[in-house]
Amino acid sequence: MSDDTPVAVTSRSFSRHPLLRAELLERYANVTFNDAGLVLQDEALIAFLRGHRKAITALERLNADVFRRCRNFGSSASTASVSTCSILRAWERLDVHLGWTPGVNRRSVAELVIAFAIALLHRIPEAGHAIDDGRWQQITGRQLTGRTLGLVGCGQIGKDVARLASVFGCRILAYDVVYDRSFNEQWHVEAVPSSSSSSRATLSHSICHSMPRPTEYWMRRGSR
């Protein structure tokens, strides 16, 4: 027998996914999906959540004001990372429970990191723009093999990037507030201060949610 607890699904991708919808509806009878594909924020987000006890969210900013104005709200399952500790503390004070499984999308993101690394080193975007402009020229890049890759943030995604980069024989420099000795030894990851990971690496990737731009990728000037 399904649960009649009201559930709001703000996530647009979840709302469009037939399998996820079916599995959720097997458990809960009273579900409101974001079928219109709206970007929910501020008053629109509050109006969508109001009257529900649970929610499945993505990139929506669920702060203390949202929960204070959505009475009887009890829990949220997030399909994206919660970016600040202050939001988590606000949820705790209001007795709102967060459900979140870390690393679910780590392989997808890690593959994109490697793809962008190869594209930057081989100057693929530059070559593509040249062709779009009607210019055919030989653009010489560099291989990812043997390069030094810096990771600012070595959690679920950073570790998977390190695993994939090891196949290319990359030297991995990583900074994280949590030092995972066993992983670093197994995958030959060098733990360094945050400044060293970017200054000493040919390529650097940041997955650090306390930074203004949580996910960034940059290549050291002069790397060709």
Find where tokens 């009649």 sit. Answer: 4
| Residue range of the domain that includes 205 | 106-219
> What is the rounded average pLDDT of the residues 160-185?
94
Question: Is residue 175 in a domain?
Answer: yes
pLDDT at 109 over 90: yes
Write out pLDDT tens, residues 26-80.
999 999 999 999 999 989 999 999 999 899 988 888 877 887 787 676 666 665 5
User: Which of the four pLDDT bands, split at 50, 70 and 90, describes residue 220?
Assistant: low
> What is the rounded average pLDDT of the residues 99-104?
80
Counting the structural domains of the chain, the total is 2
My answer on whether 38 and 120 are in the same domain is: no
pLDDT of residue 221: 56
Instruction: Decide which of 99, 134, 164 is a domain's last residue.
Output: 99
Question: Is residue 15 in a domain?
Answer: yes
My answer on whether 86 and 146 are in the same domain is: no
Distance (Å, rounded) from C-alpha 212 to C-alpha 48?
28
Question: Is residue 204 in a domain?
Answer: yes
pLDDT at 224 over 50: no
Question: Is residue 61 in a domain?
Answer: yes
> What is the rounded average pLDDT of the residues 118-127?
93
Share of the chain above pLDDT 70, in %: 77
pLDDT of residue 14: 94
My answer on whether 110 and 213 are in the same domain is: yes
pLDDT at 222 over 80: no
Instruction: Decide which of 75, 99, 123 is a domain's last residue.
Output: 99
Pairing of β 75-78 and β 54-57: parallel
pLDDT of residue 105: 87
My answer on whether 137 and 204 are in the same domain is: yes
My answer on whether 113 and 81 are in the same domain is: no
User: Which of the four pLDDT bands, split at 50, 70 and 90, describes residue 7?
Assistant: very high
Amino acid occupying residue 204: S
My answer on whether 147 and 201 are in the same domain is: yes
Task: Output the average pLDDT for the chain.
Answer: 83
pTM check: above 0.75: no
My answer on whether 119 and 204 are in the same domain is: yes
My answer on whether 142 and 205 are in the same domain is: yes
Q: CATH code at 47?
A: 3.40.50.720
My answer on whether 11 and 55 are in the same domain is: yes
My answer on whether 149 and 66 are in the same domain is: no
pLDDT of residue 58: 87
pLDDT of residue 102: 82
Structure tokens at 135: 């210019």
Question: Is residue 148 in a domain?
Answer: yes
